[in-house]
Amino acid sequence: MIKLNLKENKIISLFLQIGEMSSSDVHKKMAEAGEVFSLVTVKRALTIMVEKGLLMRKGFGRATLYRVTSLGRIFFEVDARSYIAIEPDKRYGLKGYNFELLKALPREIFTNSELKSLEQATDDYKKKTKELSPTIHKKELERLIVELSWKSSRIEGNTYTLLDTEKLILENMPAQGKTKEETQMILNHKNAFSFARENKNLFKSLTKANLSQMHSLLIQGLNVSKGLRKHPVGVSGSIYRPLDNIYQITEAIEDLCFLVNKMKSIYAKSIIALLGINYIQPFDDGNKRTSRLMADALLLAYGLVPLSYRSVDEKEYRDAVLVFYELNSLIPFKKIFIEQYEFAARNYAV
């Protein structure tokens, strides 16, 4: 796991906005930004960043140029809200799929202190749920399913309220004034989560088969094609355009499965599965829903608490995902993941 210091983060920010630069260019741009460093200091910093794998160097002598690597992008700390506030056509992010991104991800993306916090949350959760009565367990499980189904659907634009969702799931009472598609989306979340919980052994790893199965459950009755998409898709509000070739999509999914399954911690497996599925957009529709439920399925398979996203700010969530698309930085979404995991551990007992 790499954590950038302030100077390294500022340097990477310059490279993301400008592209290739010489050490003199970096020195000049930093000076223009009010960062007073000598050229020698800048050169030393660039050398260290090359050694860390954050930058790539090409050429020799005065012709030496540097550019940011995918690893540098991954750990770049960015204010997602400020970046997304820029009009799409004026943003400095990538417009297409970065074929080096998945390969660049290290086996662990959380710092030791982050892992310690996540493990503490897990320990507290397991102690709390160790001797639950069947009645309390049933009620807690129902509450989590309701809140997950509501919030995940709401992120997709579903207008069901939390109370509407509770009545639908617990009393089978569809809300008046809602479309059949909105109702079906809620019920599909319930069914997909229940399937993952009842078939934990199927989700010990990420595979093309269980990913497709999860997607099928989530798009049941919604007039969405099953299987990997064969046509281009766009991303609303983003300059990023996912892969549009089914052979490349298939290969990207295989790469993602390999990567997720070799990650060291289950927390890393879960978040990378979520972001990776979002990034590849392998299906015609339902990608984000599938990513959230697959991430939860992995957590459930290892006895960890699933995320409901109940307390997440929807815009903050979307901004963090878009930053991963365009800048390949996972830092904003990692913050959300940690917050939502700790929230789930405190508030549920399933």
* Domains defined along the chain, listed by start: 6-68 (1.10.10.10), 101-347 (1.10.3290.10)
Task: Give the number of C-alpha atoms closer than 13 A to the C-alpha of residue 25, restricted to the C-beta side.
Answer: 15
Taking the CA atoms of residue 293, residue 299, residue 303 and residue 308 in that order, the dihedral angle to the nearest 10 degrees is -60
Round to whole Å and give the CA distance between 41 and 50. Answer: 14
Give pLDDT tens digits for 267-308: 999 999 999 999 999 999 999 999 999 999 999 999 999 999
Question: Using alpha carbons only, how large is the chain's radius of gyration in Å?
Answer: 22
Give pLDDT tens digits for 17-64: 999 999 999 999 999 988 888 999 999 999 999 999 999 999 988 889
Give the DSSP H or E segment for 192.
Answer: helix 180-198
Whether 132 has a pLDDT exceeding 90, the answer reads: no
pLDDT band at 96 (very low <50, low <70, confident <90, very high): very high
Q: Which amino acid is at 128?
A: K
Q: For a pLDDT cut of 70, what percent of the chain falls above it?
A: 100
Round to whole Å and give the CA distance between 196 and 182. Answer: 22
Round to whole Å and give the CA distance between 192 and 196. Answer: 6
**CA-based nearest residue to 287, from 300, 299, 277:** 277
> CB-based contacts of 302: which residues, under 8 Å, 6+ apart?
204, 266
pTM: 0.95
Reported residue count of the chain is 350
pLDDT band at 74 (very low <50, low <70, confident <90, very high): very high
